[in-house]
Structure 1
Amino acid sequence: MKNSKIYIVGSGAIGKALAVFLQQENKQVVLVRGSVDHIPDVEDTITVVGKDSTFKQRIITTTFNGLQAINGIVLIAAKAFANTEIAGKLRDKEGDFSIVLLQNGLHVERPFQGFDKVYRCVLFSTSQITGDNKVTFKSVTSSPLGNLQGNNDGLEDVVDKINTPYFSFHSEPDITRHIWTKVIANCAFNSICPLLETDNGIFVRNSKAAQLARTVIEECVSLAQRQGIDLDSDMIEKNLMLISHRSDGQLISTYVDIIHNRRTEIENLNLEVSRMADDLGIPETVTHTRLLGELIQLKSAIKMK
């Protein structure tokens, strides 16, 4: 790719952390603000505080208007509800680029239909903004990357270009199963934690919270199996508890959004699961998952007024 760069759309906690780690590896990185068009480019020092080390890099932040063409890899780290707008802006750009969605949720890739190279990633890292251009970062394990249509041409090259020692990725030919596994865990984390107004570690500290998460997992696994996706409830629960343990003290993104009166991504989690159950004519299979999602939607709406 001519003048190949890595463009990170979304300057939140994950986007900033990944930008720093990539630049640490001497990659050409630029942050792109997807929702704003009329601001000048800026270059700021971004600090990432990890478990054992602190990293600082000067990162350029621009907008789509500031890009004449796009050549390289576009990492989408913005909220999923912005995807329709982002896809529209990318369609207006010339160049040769691959798109990688670093987002939680079901069907977040739909706005990008028609693009040649679209990959989905399941993130197993957490990051939180703690100050101006300062974030904390914790990695649970390497994040899988793949193509939903099974067309993984170029996948290894993309993984090689975005992989770093601190924020790692690996190729996964069957990404759908991983998407569902993470979505189900997030249906618990992104609803129960904000409703209890607590951090991710609640499931290892409180048996009743863990039991509620188990109910959500069982409901969602039952729905996935109706779709022909073979998942293991026990495995997902063990993974949820691992994430809960390793991100103890960290706030889930939905809770942070509610605190700051921002729109959440619950529509692509609990509420998308509910819509799928409705479409299949089995709404009763996801009763708890639906109610928790509706409560988050209501809590968010009340806070945003």
Structure 2
Amino acid sequence: MSFSPFTVAVMGAGAVGCYFGGMLARHGHRVTLIARPQHVAAMDISGLRMQTTQFDEHVPLAASSQASAVQGAQLVLFCVKSLDTEAAGALIRPHLHPDALVLCLQNGVDNTGRLRGVLPQHAVAAAVVYVATEMAGPGHVRHHGRGDLVMEPSRNSDAVAQAFVAAGVPTEVSPNLTGALWAKLILNCAYNAVSAISQLPYGKTVAGEGVRDLMRDVVSECLAVAHAEGVHLAGDVHAAVDQLAGSMPSQFSSTAQDLARGKVTEIDHLNGLIVRRGEALGIATPANRALWAMVKLLESKVSD
């Protein structure tokens, strides 16, 4: 069977973007990572170092710090932080190919809709990401576990999914992407703030006294909000939350990583979103509110 490589750009090539972009580049696709200057400088010298659970190697690819590097890309992996969605979308819009597919690999449930507000609606597709990664240094991504995607049906979604699968990324196209996004949001609400506040990885957080009970309260509140919004969630969400720490015991949440680096977190789009939606629906969310408030307090501490 012949192989037709995609031209791929990764907008916001942090840990998630570097992992998935690197996997595609390793399989022969033409990939450009759009990242911070220190990462670009390192990759210009020796490519992207991918230190995964299966291999440790330098992957050759292109890198740029300019949004204009999306020009000509057939596939854009959109991986910026939730608070930067509209601004980053506006930056790439003038350079976007008319037939490009922009695949959202972001946390939260509202980014795709927000991105469609600044880009052509038909160009944007949602995806759910399950991967444990971190940037271990300039141009160096470290992978701790998983690495799979769920995509919504869209133009070229089958071809894109096949390309990911061939590159070693398990990928599913699902008609219930909203349910999948909410299931991932609930996992993030249960783990991210607890890991951030404690600065501990998932395996150690769940061993803390009372933490599993707290997580169950968080999940129950999230489920109440999701059900009130008419979201269909398949499977046992409580069981999925219980199992996550076992599959990623050494992973620090992205929220924990942001706080450790003195950055603003995405907590407003995680537990904070549940709080806001709960208020609008008349549903009490005290566990989510407490976690959101604590992370906001820590954010103010690191930004002083």
Query: TM-score by structure 2 length?
Result: 0.88
Change in CA separation of 1:198 and 1:139 when aligned onto 2, cut-off 3 Å: closer
Q: 1: CA distance between counterparts of 2:53 and 2:101?
A: 31
Q: 2: CA distance between counterparts of 1:287 and 1:244?
A: 23
Amino acid at match of 2:186: I
Q: 2: CA distance between counterparts of 1:261 and 1:239?
A: 30
By how many angstroms is 1:41 displaced? 11
Amino acid at match of 2:267: I
Tell me the equivalent position of 1:125: 131
Amino acid at match of 2:84: A
Is 1:98 the equivalent of 2:97? no
Amino acid at match of 2:77: L
Amino acid at match of 2:164: I
CA deviation profile, 1:196-246 (whole Å, cap 9, x unmatched): 2211113553452111111100110011111112337x8222222322112
Tell me the equivalent position of 2:272: 271
Change in CA separation of 1:4 and 1:261 when aligned onto 2, cut-off 3 Å: same
C-alpha RMSD of matched pairs (Å): 2.5
Change in CA separation of 1:3 and 1:171 when aligned onto 2, cut-off 3 Å: closer
By how many angstroms is 1:302 displaced? 1.1
Amino acid at match of 2:228: R
Q: 2: CA distance between counterparts of 1:16 and 1:73?
A: 15
Change in CA separation of 1:3 and 1:159 when aligned onto 2, cut-off 3 Å: closer
Kept in 2, the 8 Å contact 1:20–1:55? The answer is no
Partner residue of 1:202 out of 192, 200, 204: 204
Secondary structure at the counterpart of residue 95 of structure 2: coil
Tell me the equivalent position of 1:280: 281
Secondary structure at the counterpart of residue 223 of structure 2: helix
Unaligned segments of structure 2, at least 5 residues: none
Q: Report the more deviating stretch, 11-20 or 180-189.
A: 11-20
Partner residue of 1:75 out of 74, 77, 82: 77
Secondary structure at the counterpart of residue 216 of structure 2: helix
By how many angstroms is 1:63 displaced? 3.6
Q: How is 1:145-164 mapped onto 2 (pairs within 5 angstroms)?
A: 145-146=151-152, 152-164=154-166
| Corresponding pairs, count | 294
Q: 1: CA distance between counterparts of 2:109 and 2:171?
A: 20
Q: How is 1:122-271 mapped onto 2 (pairs within 5 angstroms)?
A: 122-140=128-146, 142-146=148-152, 152-202=154-204, 204-206=206-208, 208-231=210-233, 235-271=236-272
Change in CA separation of 1:68 and 1:265 when aligned onto 2, cut-off 3 Å: closer
Kept in 1, the 8 Å contact 2:34–2:64? The answer is yes
Q: 2: CA distance between counterparts of 1:20 and 1:267?
A: 29
Kept in 1, the 8 Å contact 2:132–2:147? The answer is no
Report the identity percentage.
Answer: 19
Secondary structure at the counterpart of residue 246 of structure 2: helix
Amino acid at match of 2:229: Q
Query: TM-score by structure 1 length?
Result: 0.88
Q: 2: CA distance between counterparts of 1:207 and 1:30?
A: 45
Kept in 1, the 8 Å contact 2:193–2:295? The answer is yes
